Amino acid sequence: MKMRFAILGLTLLLIPFFVGAAVPAEIQVQIESTKRERDTLLEEQKRLEAELDALNKESQTIGTAVKSLDATRKKLVNDINITKSKITSSNLSIRSLESTIGDKERQIIVHEQAIAGSLKAINEYDSHSLVSDLLAYEQVSEVWKDRGQLSDLGIKLEEEINSLRQTRIVLSNEKKVKEQTKKELESLQSQLTGQKVVVEESQNAKQQLLNQTKSREAEYQKMLEENLARQRQSENDLYRLEQELRITLDPSLFPEARHSILSWPLDKVYITQRFGKTGSGLYATDFHNGMDFRASMGTPVKAVLSGTVEGTGNTDEQRGCYSYGRWILIKHDNGLTSIYSHLSASLVKKNQKVETGQIVAYSGGTPRTNGAGYSTGPHLHLGLFASQGVEIRQFTTSKGCKQVYVPIASGRDAYLDPLAYLPSL
């Protein structure tokens, strides 16, 4: 009888106590090293952003344009290295999680085997009657002592079962973290692809700029004037096409203006042009149908609200058509639809679901770069529509954009002021 309790006690001692599995030392060292490298890159990113901001505030000359493109390329290369660093960290985190998940799974097996053995031993003990135990022991006091030990072991067994349950909960949570990290890794890889495209665009832009202007200031200023002329022509064409749509808006189908319904599309906000009448003479109808943000080429652009990509396009694909350039239209579930244009790269496709704050594109707007559209400098244009009053149509009434598709509003009422829905300044 005493031997049976000794075996039972040993069985329970073999059950591991619940402890978090340590991250393998080698992986931890790599994670810390990668973080230090990224911190250095982030400091360089701040310096390059400050340099670009200073250049963008200077007057538009061929010299500042070339300097801006050079600084943009350096910043983009640095951004790519930051993204690569994040990808490395994500891969290391997945390896670490796989290691700890494996430890937890092995721990659970040991728990289950030990608990099963203990239950079997307790069951065998319980099969003996009290009379049999009294006859087996020389002294009656030994019987009560053993039965007291059995009670203590039952309590210990219950504790180990609870520990097993907790281990399973932790295992489940770590598996969820691993899946989320994998999603983040996929997003980072998509961002890296987009950043590489923008680097190529910036390099091509510099070469095109030098070829077209022959490094002459007069030629550069002439190019800017041509861009403004194309902008006015495009706006007139767009206005005519919008008159073809006859949709009466139902205000109950979209929310009243209220701050923070939307989030900012950029991490750093500097508004260069607001919505509505401008009085600046920059627009053919003296009406700006969205708002512009200062953003150097390659700045990450984020969805202002979760929704579904209604469509994407690039008016620059038709020679002589400038209009929106590269654009993305996202339909939200609350009756609003947002547009992002003059983009240097897009990361999303039609019908794709996106979340608030998800990077969907990179800003552009550098004149004569693919996707810039009618732009005189790097920026992001954000527009907002009542969803019922906007649709994607072929730009058939345009003189130079007959083959492209663009979002068309059913009149000025369908355009909404984004600033009225964004967070308070």
Which CATH number goes with the domain that contains 305?
Answer: 2.70.70.10
Do 181 and 238 share a domain, yes or no?
A: no
Query: For position 204, what pLDDT does the model report?
Result: 81
Do 269 and 375 share a domain, yes or no?
A: yes
Domain that holds residue 149: 2-186
Using DSSP, state whether 382 is helix, strand or coil: strand
Query: For position 27, what pLDDT does the model report?
Result: 84
> 392 has which bridge partners?
407
- Cβ proximity of 263 and 167 under 8 Å: no
Kindly report the pTM of this predicted structure: 0.76
Q: Which of 173, 239, 216 is nearest to 414 (CA)?
A: 239
Residues 6+ positions from 268 with CB-CB distance below 8 Å: 49
The reply to whether 191 falls in a domain is no
Query: For position 125, what pLDDT does the model report?
Result: 62
Do 182 and 243 share a domain, yes or no?
A: no
The reply to whether 228 falls in a domain is no
List the chain pLDDT tens, one digit each, 425 residues. Answer: 444 444 444 444 444 444 444 457 888 888 889 889 999 998 998 898 888 888 877 777 888 888 888 888 898 899 999 999 999 999 998 888 888 888 888 888 887 887 777 777 666 665 555 445 544 555 545 544 555 555 666 677 777 778 778 888 888 888 898 899 898 898 999 999 989 988 888 888 788 778 777 778 888 788 777 777 776 677 777 776 776 666 778 999 999 999 999 999 999 999 998 998 765 544 445 678 899 999 988 999 999 999 999 999 999 888 777 789 999 999 999 999 999 999 999 999 999 999 999 999 999 988 778 898 888 788 999 999 999 999 998 887 777 788 889 998 887 788 999 999 999 98
**Measured CA distances, 194 to 31, 79, 318, 389 (Å):** 25, 11, 22, 31
Do 170 and 262 share a domain, yes or no?
A: no
- Cβ proximity of 39 and 152 under 8 Å: no
Distance between CA atoms of residues 182 and 176, nearest Å: 10
Query: For position 3, what pLDDT does the model report?
Result: 41
The reply to whether 211 falls in a domain is no
Query: For position 143, what pLDDT does the model report?
Result: 46
Query: For position 155, what pLDDT does the model report?
Result: 72
Show which of 186, 219, 246 is a domain's final residue.
Answer: 186
Query: What length is written for the chain?
Result: 425
In a 10 Å sphere around its CB, with 0-12 CB exposed, 13-18 middle and 19+ buried, how is residue 109 labelled? exposed
Residues 6+ positions from 131 with CB-CB distance below 8 Å: none
DSSP-derived secondary structure for 268-294:
S--EEE-SEE--SS-STTSEESSEEEE
The first and second tokens of residue 81, run together, are: 């290295």
The reply to whether 375 falls in a domain is yes
Do 46 and 141 share a domain, yes or no?
A: yes
CB atoms near residue 36 (< 10 Å)? 10
Query: For position 4, what pLDDT does the model report?
Result: 45
Looking up tokens 């189908």, which residue turns up? 253
